[in-house]
Amino acid sequence: MTTVNQGMNVEEIERVVAQRVANAIEAITIYETKTNLARMSRSQTARQEEKVAENASNKRKWGSNPNGSLSQQ
């Protein structure tokens, strides 16, 4: 981070501070967006894994007869 030079007037200092605040807000917004996307992705992956496990369980419950039809085992 750069330092504020001595001899700057109040308006220049306020402009520098305002820009730094804006940069910080933007960085926080980007971080929160990435964090939320990662959380949603993990949740979606977990739901998909649950669905795969459920489907596998259902396939074990329902097997094929020799004639190709499904029957509960």
Distances (CA, A) of 57 to 38, 46, 53: 29, 16, 6
What is the distance between the alpha carbons of residues 36 and 14, in angstroms, rounded to a whole number? Answer: 33
User: Domain locations in the chain?
Assistant: 21-51
> Which stretches of the chain score pLDDT less than 50?
none
Instruction: Quote the pTM value.
Output: 0.56
User: What pLDDT score was predicted for residue 60?
Assistant: 77
62: β partners: 72
Instruction: Report residue 55 as tokens.
Output: 């489907």
∠ CA 47-70-49 to the nearest 5 degrees?
A: 10
